[in-house]
Structure 1
Amino acid sequence: MNGTVPETMRAAYIDAVGPADAIRYGELPVPPVGPTDVLVRVAAVAADPVDTFVRSGAYATPLPLPFVVGRDLVGEVAAAGPGAAGPTVGQRVWCNSLGHAGRQGSFAQYATVAAERLYPAPSGVDPE
């Protein structure tokens, strides 16, 4: 991995599926980066209706606990695994496929994303 990354981050997460008031905001470890993963420093996220289905349990899917909620993000590559083809440190990227099927979500300062799930962000577009 390359880049300087802290050990902990702030995140919105749940310890079990349930109502919106089950969402916590606090410190979690920065997620590990596998050989074909990219660590993204998150700049902006969007709440998607699917996020509420996953968080509530209405959409049954494997969730590692604590589970960071959220599906969509825009950010900058902070680090990349040695086999992560494509994204480079400092590149602006976006993703819309986190937060289900065993993948942690986007509502955090950092998110680990499989390189093939990231797309280059258009230049000149404000992340928000």
Structure 2
Amino acid sequence: MIKTFDQSVFGKEASRLLASIQQGRRSVADYSVEFRTLAATSEWNAEALVARFLEGLNDTFKDELYAREVPDRLDDLISLALRLDARRELRRRARMRTEPVASTPLAPSSDESEPMQVDRLRLTAKERGCFFSSV
């Protein structure tokens, strides 16, 4: 029964998956959990694991990491990445609260009447006559 639910990978399979793992659109936390799971069953050395973890991160996130001192130990690197990702998420949420919501412009009316003339001050004699004829 255990074999049915056991989806662990070891050795070469873990190494193959570790070589291709990418963060993608997921959080650093999700990426690091999968990375650590595969790393634990692979036979990679610490230096190779650090290099591969960095390589699998999104480019924009890598830029943030490389702007700092990158730790040599995998645990320290993952801790730093998790802190940066948490700050980034807080900032994203704060921006969402403060950014104005763009309103959709109203559709132009299909009425083909003459546009209103704002700058005209005096009525013509004909226009004045219309007011008196309706009385």
Q: State if a TM-score over 0.5 links the two structures.
A: no
Instruction: Name which one, 1 or 2, has greater alpha-carbon Rg.
Output: 2
Taking structure 1 as the reference length, what is the TM-score of the superposition? 0.25
Select the structure that is richer in helix: 2
